[in-house]
Structure 1
Amino acid sequence: MKPFVYNALPSRVIFGSNTLYQIKDELRLLGKNRGLVLSTAGQHKAASQVSNLLGEFSVGCFNGAVMHTPITVTNDALKIVMETKADCIIAIGGGSTIGLAKAIALNTNLPQIVIPTTYAGSEATPIIGQTENGVKTTQRTLKVLPEVIIYDVELTKTLPVPITITSAMNAIAHAIEALYSKDANPFISMLAEQGIEALARAIPIIYHSPLDSAARSDALFGAWACGTCLGAVGMSIHHKLCHTLGGSFSLPHAETHTVILPHAVAYNESATTEVMARVAKALGVSNAAQGLYDLAAQHGAPTSLKEIGMNASDISLAVEIACASPYWNPRPIEAKAIHNLLSNAFYGKRP
């Protein structure tokens, strides 16, 4: 056994069906009684439901969360926090809403209860990404780690299939990068393989039967497992590229992860042959990069940066941004090779 360091993260996790109805009890356990509910505009009905369940413990809703956590939106939300004298932040939704909750916590130290409705996994991490002046930056701090995560399988059944697939691919990316992370350890690696296997098993079933309870449960467990991996160890080239493309070119988050993942895996394959064999086994395929591409393509997910809004003329700038600051990756970061990676991803070439 190789030496390793593992830091467990202090979060309370409630997993099951109809767990949303425990929200008031969880607020009480935190010793709070003035919860502000966050969501995107599209999920305002879900936010209202949570607010109603809280009853007198709710101070209202803020439905302005958007992708990539722009500082301007955070500032608007902070004004509402001050006006309502909220003592707890409650987020229902995906990465956009959870990102806003984290940004508020970063600025106020208020506790968070998060209720994920997608498979992005950010709820399980002490990581926040924020966008200012067209640049997305990330930082790791326990100040933004949610105190409570409520996973309710029933809430994910209405998640549209296209979002389900890209969100699940986003989660798989966390686990794969955790397996070849310089901080890898046996516990997280085991969890990563379980997460990949659960999501790969769930995706085809949900694609054909979106209301399948067992598949939705597998997918939500996989999301938690992969998110825990993201929170426990460092990420590499895949996440760096996705943050660059999302923050600087406003590409959609989960779709960007879906497109980039097979190409990032192919980039690192020669330096991580043992890891890629484990990924392929978890996916049930012979080649990890090709298996990931096929998993997306066969279930209606985008496979090219072109189809999600990127311009070919932006590739060179993306390479420049991604290579601007040194970071660890199992294979050295080489601008020419990264340009080739992004070109393949732009045109949707199968690895």
Structure 2
Amino acid sequence: MRFVHDTLPQRVRFASGAATEELAAEVAELGARRVMVVAGGSGREIADRVTAGLPVVHRHTDVVMHVPVDVARRARDAATEWHADTLVCVGGGSATGLAKAVALTTGLPIVAVPTTYAGSEATAVWGLTEDARKTTGTDPRVLPRAIVYDATLTRSLPVGLSVASGLNALAHCVDSMWAPHSDPVDRALAAEGVRALSGGLPLVVKDPHALDGRERTLYGAYLAAVAFASAGSGLHHKVCHVLGGMFGLPHAQTHAVVLPHVLAFNAPYSPDAERLLASAFGAPTAGEGLARLRAALDAPRSLRSLGMPQEGVAAAAEAVVAAAPPGNPRPVTLASITELVQTAWEGNPPR
């Protein structure tokens, strides 16, 4: 056994029902005096509540999925105009992504308060979209200094979106099994993440307001993100980044649709990962475990239903092949990826 594992420097506060107090403590720890709050959509009401009492100088609500370059530019300008010294992002991956875009050029520290299971808050990965192309990278400046996890804040997330967001987290686990920098620590974290997510998500569907399912799912999403932050972006995420940037598809739902197809593509070529995942699902095979979970959750099934045009399959496949990570367990060819994207578009079971 020989590997190098990086552990990212970050404080995590996990305290259901205490986001306001924990966030105030973290902001005080940073010595912040001029806070810019980033929150859009349904996150605004929660943001107003949990940031009450903080030295907020600006509330930025211009948040757009996949972080278009012009949206990032406006947020950076606002941070400069208001002389912000700290960023607090409240919401899902879009809010966190925009805060990261600001931190990338300003170096401002971020405190993240997630309300979904996106996991972006635990990674140093940033993404920007321009001209229908999403560019991603890693930079230590964009890693939030701290995360405040409060499972009660995810109760406002509708069941359908909770399922998609949770499966997005599960995709972090799966990709971490064979991503370019995957190591035994990443795989251990990912396996535990699968156990937590596959146990928590059905409870969320059964009783959306019960805390147990929400806490398990949030815990699993964090483990998944930590594994992914170290292992790097594997084939699944390359596919989803291409589709999201090219067609503006909803982020979490795209991950939920694509995941079984990439798992079926890679798992036979990585038997150790297959065994770990199967065990974590408590199923004979990883594919069967994921299929059972998706059936229990009534997960989204087709890219067509998300708005992707069929004529985009060929262009998407070419872009995925060009972006495919090195060392993928199975050789990536245009023919095989075209078949994968076409099958996902149709919503048929993985081949």
RMSD: 1.3
Unaligned runs of 5+ in 1: none
Letter in 1 for 2:133: V
The aligned counterpart of 1:276 is 274
Tell me by how many angstroms 1:326 deviates: 5.1
Cα gap change, 1:133 to 1:190, in 2 (>3 Å): same
Aligned twin of 2:168: 170
CA distance in 2 between counterparts of 1:157 and 1:249 reads: 29
Once the two structures are overlaid, the 10-residue window that deviates more, 129-138 or 325-334, is 325-334
Q: How does 1:1-351 map to 2 (within 5 A)?
A: 2-21=1-20, 22-54=22-54, 57-325=55-323, 327-328=325-326, 329-351=328-350
Matching residue's letter, 1:5 = V
**Deviation, structure 1 residue 281:** 1.7
Kept in 2, the 8 Å contact 1:293–1:350? The answer is no
SS in structure 1 at match of 2:344: helix
- CA distance change for structure 1 residues 182 and 323 in 2, over 3 Å: closer, same or farther? closer
- Kindly indicate whether the alpha-carbon contact (under 8 Å) linking 1:116 and 1:150 is maintained by their aligned counterparts in 2: yes
Tell me how far 1:29 sits from its aligned partner.
0.6
Q: Percent of aligned positions with the same letter in both sequences? A: 38
Q: TM-score, normalised by structure 1?
A: 0.96
Which of 339-348 and 273-282 deviates more? 273-282
Work out the CA distance in 1 between the residues paired with 2:262 and 2:183: 21
Q: What is the CA-CA distance between 1:18 and the residue it aligns to?
A: 2.3
**Any unmatched runs of 5+ in structure 2?**
none
Confirm or deny: 8 A CA contact 1:43 1:63 kept in the other structure: no
* Pair 269,172 (structure 1): closer, same or farther in 2 beyond 3 Å: same
Measured after TM superposition, the shift of residue 173 of structure 1 is 0.7
Kept in 2: contact 1:87–1:110 (CA 8 A): yes
Contact 1:262–1:290 under 8 Å retained in 2? no
Q: Distance in 1 between matches of 2:304 and 2:286?
A: 23
What is the distance in 2 between the residues matched to 1:305 and 1:112?
Answer: 33
Instruction: Determine helix, strand or coil for the equivalent of 2:322.
Output: coil
Q: Is the 8 A contact 2:200 2:213 kept in 1?
A: yes
User: 2:24 and 2:74 mapped to 1: Cα distance?
Assistant: 26
- Residue 293 of structure 1 deviates from its aligned partner by 3.5
